[in-house]
Chains A and B, each alone.
Chain A
Amino acid sequence: MSKAKKDKLSKAFTIETADKEKAHFSLSKHLLNFGILYLLLLLCLITSLLTDKFLTTTNIINIIRQGSTVIILSLGMGIVIITGGIDLSVGALSALSAIIVSGALANWKFSIPLAIGCSLLVGLLFGLFNGIIVARFRISPMIVTLASLNAARGIALLYNDGAQIVGLPDAFTQIGRGYIAFIPVPVIIMLVLVAIVYFVMTYTVFGKYLYAIGGNEEVARLAGISVKKIKAAAYSICGIGAALVGVIYAARLNMGDPTMGSGLELDAISSAVLGGINLYGGQGKILGAVIGALLISVLSNSLNLIGISSFWQLVVKAAVLVGAALIYTRKNV
């Protein structure tokens, strides 16, 4: 090969990379990445045109307060899904947590911090159990967390024979009903958690390892990452999140209800999917899940305000979910 030819070859190599990179940042790609955000804004715009009850401070705060529990769940769920797993037990786990915190306060007369601590501990243990079984014994997360779902729901029902537990102290209910300045307490809790999780996912090695494991577990293992520990941690975080949601519910409803929260896990999964987190793992942004959860919340609020029946609401939600999934598959062309 002549020298001139060689130069030409190596140049061709350079240009090829540069071009591909440019093509990568195209408008269509941008829309796919931020589509969910635009969808949310569009939905807000349309609803505010249709009804003037939407864009009021009270309503907005209301939406965010209602959404905050699903947002908290979607953080943990997002983390688990990013590792390539799934956690079906979160809804049942939050019911169990609500029962434990209520029982501890009403029956055992624990102090508020201790009671909350107990229920978070139970959440952690359930999550840890899920994570260890999934990672150590390589059993499908679907099966393991389905078992946990039944176990948690069963214990919650057994504790008080399926009855609700009432008579919680006023100071406790503030966690669900109170305000600091004009912001509801659950919203503040949610915002703090979103900030922490975002930080962890973006700036820490732990966050990167979650993606690496979801992307290719074998590659992660060969890179010397302790896959089992990271997975156990991911499910534990999810469990604690679920327990916290149970505490907030108990405080807001002023009782522990063993039947609450069924189907919450599906809302959390939908949020993650809407937000662009790949169900096969390794891909997606945690803030996407947050926006996904917000979208679900805004959607039900809008449909309520416009006066669409709750039966139709389910159909609309289904359509939105399938639509989002369709958009994300196009991403991979």
Chain B
Amino acid sequence: MVAGKKVETADGNIVEMYSIHKRFGGVVALNGVSFKLAKSEVHGLIGENGAGKTTLMKILSGATEQDSGNISINGKIVKNPNPYYLRTLGVQIVHQELSLLPHMTVAENMFLGKELRTKSGLIDKERMYIESKHVLDEIEVSISPNTMVEILSTAQKQLVEIAKSMIGDLKVLILDEPTSSLTDKEIFHLKKILDMFKIKGVSVVLISHKLNEVKDMCDKVTVMRDGKVVHTCCIDAIDIQDMVNYMVGRNVNDTYVPPVLDECSKKIVFELKGINSYVFGEVELKDININVRAGEIVGMFGLIGSGRTEIIKTIYGLRRKQSGTVIIDGVKVKKLLPSKIIEQGVSWVPEDRRKDGLCLEMSIKNNIGLAVFGEISKCGFVNMAKHKGIVNDYMNRLAIKAPNSKMNVGSLSGGNQQKVVLAKWLAVRPKVLILDEPTRGIDVGSKAEIHSLIRKLRDEGMAILVISSELPELFVLSDRVIVMKDGVITGRVMRDGTGMLTEENIMRIATIGVNKV
């Protein structure tokens, strides 16, 4: 499979990619990209949504084949790339969309496709258990290898994916947006793991939209734009503002702008009273009281497992056992059911876009229209002109990068998929908008756009609840922040002159759970 031809590698690069081209139908995803990765370096790969980062790394890992261009690993050109072969060369990838099998155990997932066998050729469960435990211990993850993957949290899955890549030979580890669903605590853990890899001589490619992390964790950074590499340099030679400039080619301004409406004109439109819920007979949420006023953005913060998303699931009636009252614009919701809540003007942008947010096989156009078809149709016929208007409007406003609106959502880049989910629910123009991790996987430029769009909606009088694991996001959006821990609200932090809305303060309430406000 490998040609014996040696390529000179002057500076000990483990991976070299030369003028890679890749098109998907009419879309040029990569247009002559060259990329070099040195031994034991952590290399950041950044760029706007749809710039081609994932595609480049899929090619390096053999999941996709390039149209032209060469890859050499350890000085040898790779012919006939396929995932299996590249893995034997030590290239391991953790995909942007997590890919573990939910109904299998952690150990089975870690050894998928490379199962250990006994002498008689059967699966050697015991040895697989021991070795996966060993690897998990090495990266200080305390998950039993016999745990079913379906009960793990996203963060834990992420760590299991990394552990999975350590089975067998690991020389190059590709992490495609590993931190987009992690909180600071887990990101800290990830950093420790990367430090350990560096000592072991493993090279890492880290794709991320969180530029401060790139600055923090990487040795080098490569910026991509529109399928090309626009800049590569040592991390010390570039600051975050420059990174942004290379990525989007303009200045991005994303700061908190106070609402235009004044305090006393606001009325409460979204009110939760005494929400409780139970899972497997255990208390999940306890006595949650929240209210959001018209023209106000309330942020919601908490570590993973604190119950933020569970509140929304509860008021949508998705829990087996629940109680509490929801009042929308002065009217009590009679029964906690999705249809009832939506009827009264609530929209919820869920956090897991692939599971709850999108019909991946449907076009962008129909995904965006899905929630407004009722509104823009007469006698069951959709008003095509209105539909088209809405779709074009939101594709522009959110800068959705796609050749046309008839494309399948499944073939968009991760960040663009997220934008489609947002567009779908923004198009409804609800009274109450609930955003769960609205900018997960979205690049800095579009993020600022989306933030200003959210602020604009607030100024138009919408009541907005934003759940986010990113404190900076909450800072630029929220008028106040609610902090949760273990299913109870442990603090409410106001944005007023006293400066209580600080990172320190929020982290303290989220981790220790004391509210000194």
Which of A12-20, A161-169, A244-252 lines the interface with chain B? A12-20
A10 to B303, alpha carbons, bound, how many Å? 13
Which residues of B lie under 8 Å from residue A5 when comparing CB positions? Answer: 511-512
- Cβ-defined contact, A225 with B511, below 8 A: no
For residue A283, CB closer than 8 A to chain B, the reply is yes
Which residues of A lie under 8 Å from residue B280 when comparing CB positions? Answer: 23, 26, 28
- Cβ-defined contact, A17 with B144, below 8 A: yes
- Cβ-defined contact, B320 with A212, below 8 A: no
Total interface residues on A, using CB and 8 Å? 34
Q: List residues 39-96 of chain B with CB under 8 A from any CB of chain A.
A: 63, 82-84, 87, 95
Least CB distance, A210 to chain B, in whole angstroms: 12
Least CB distance, B130 to chain A, in whole angstroms: 17
Q: List residues 189-241 of chain A with CB under 8 A from any CB of chain B.
A: 203-205, 207-208, 211-212, 215-216, 218-225
Interface centre among A13, A204, A208, A216 (most CB of B within 10 A): A13
Which of B99-107, B269-277, B368-376 lines the interface with chain A? B99-107
- Cβ-defined contact, A208 with B115, below 8 A: yes
For residue B151, CB closer than 8 A to chain A, the reply is yes
Which residues of B lie under 8 Å from residue A283 when comparing CB positions? Answer: 103
- Cβ-defined contact, A222 with B144, below 8 A: no
A10 to B185, alpha carbons, bound, how many Å? 9
Which residues of A lie under 8 Å from residue B100 when comparing CB positions? Answer: 219
Which residues of A lie under 8 Å from residue B103 when comparing CB positions? Answer: 211, 215, 282-283
Which residues of B lie under 8 Å from residue A225 when comparing CB positions? Answer: 112-113
- Cβ-defined contact, A211 with B101, below 8 A: yes
- Cβ-defined contact, A215 with B113, below 8 A: no
For residue B117, CB closer than 8 A to chain A, the reply is yes
For residue A52, CB closer than 8 A to chain B, the reply is no
For residue B399, CB closer than 8 A to chain A, the reply is no
A17 to B142, alpha carbons, bound, how many Å? 8
Closest chain A residue to B147 by CB distance? A21
Which residues of A lie under 8 Å from residue B436 when comparing CB positions? Answer: none
Which residues of A lie under 8 Å from residue B82 when comparing CB positions? Answer: 224
A187 to B87, alpha carbons, bound, how many Å? 46
For residue A30, CB closer than 8 A to chain B, the reply is no
A33 to B471, alpha carbons, bound, how many Å? 42
A9 to B121, alpha carbons, bound, how many Å? 43
- Cβ-defined contact, A8 with B511, below 8 A: yes
Total interface residues on B, using CB and 8 Å? 40
- Cβ-defined contact, B112 with A223, below 8 A: yes
A264 to B148, alpha carbons, bound, how many Å? 35
- Cβ-defined contact, B115 with A222, below 8 A: no
- Cβ-defined contact, B511 with A219, below 8 A: no
Count of inter-chain pairs, beta carbons less than 8 A: 85
For residue B108, CB closer than 8 A to chain A, the reply is yes
For residue A315, CB closer than 8 A to chain B, the reply is no
Which residues of B lie under 8 Å from residue A216 when comparing CB positions? Answer: 99, 101
Closest chain B residue to A11 by CB distance? B142
- Cβ-defined contact, A215 with B101, below 8 A: yes
- Cβ-defined contact, B99 with A21, below 8 A: no
Least CB distance, A109 to chain B, in whole angstroms: 41
A26 to B113, alpha carbons, bound, how many Å? 31
- Given A23-B282, A222-B63, A225-B113, is A9 in contact with B101 using a C-beta cutoff of 8 Å? no
- Cβ-defined contact, A20 with B123, below 8 A: no
- Cβ-defined contact, A9 with B104, below 8 A: no
Which residues of A lie under 8 Å from residue B279 when comparing CB positions? Answer: 23
Which residues of A lie under 8 Å from residue B140 when comparing CB positions? Answer: 10
A203 to B123, alpha carbons, bound, how many Å? 5
- Cβ-defined contact, A224 with B83, below 8 A: yes
In-complex Cβ contact of B142 among A14, A204, A223 (8 A): A14
A14 to B144, alpha carbons, bound, how many Å? 10
Closest chain B residue to A21 by CB distance? B147
Least CB distance, B123 to chain A, in whole angstroms: 6
- Cβ-defined contact, B305 with A16, below 8 A: yes
Least CB distance, A327 to chain B, in whole angstroms: 14
Least CB distance, A28 to chain B, in whole angstroms: 7
- Cβ-defined contact, B112 with A219, below 8 A: yes
Closest chain B residue to A219 by CB distance? B99
1/0 per residue, CB under 8 A from B, across A125-148: the answer is 000000000000000000000000
In-complex Cβ contact of A24 among B101, B113, B151 (8 A): B151
- Cβ-defined contact, B101 with A205, below 8 A: no
- Cβ-defined contact, A13 with B142, below 8 A: yes
Least CB distance, B216 to chain A, in whole angstroms: 15
A282 to B101, alpha carbons, bound, how many Å? 9
Least CB distance, B167 to chain A, in whole angstroms: 11
For residue A181, CB closer than 8 A to chain B, the reply is no
Closest chain A residue to B148 by CB distance? A24
For residue A333, CB closer than 8 A to chain B, the reply is yes
Least CB distance, A205 to chain B, in whole angstroms: 5
1/0 per residue, CB under 8 A from A, across B316-360: the answer is 000010000000000000000000000000000000000000000
A333 to B305, alpha carbons, bound, how many Å? 17
A contact set with B: CB distance below 8 Å: 5, 8-10, 13-14, 16-17, 20-21, 23-24, 26, 28, 203-205, 207-208, 211-212, 215-216, 218-225, 282-283, 333
Q: A28-B280, A219-B101, A224-B84 are in contact. List 11 more A-B contacts (CB 8 A).
A: A23-B282, A24-B148, A24-B151, A204-B122, A204-B123, A207-B123, A212-B112, A215-B103, A220-B112, A223-B112, A283-B103
What are 6 of the A-B contact pairs (CB < 8 Å)? A9-B185, A20-B147, A21-B151, A204-B121, A212-B104, A224-B87
Top 5 A-B pairs ranked by shortest CB distance? A224-B84, A223-B113, A215-B101, A224-B113, A14-B142
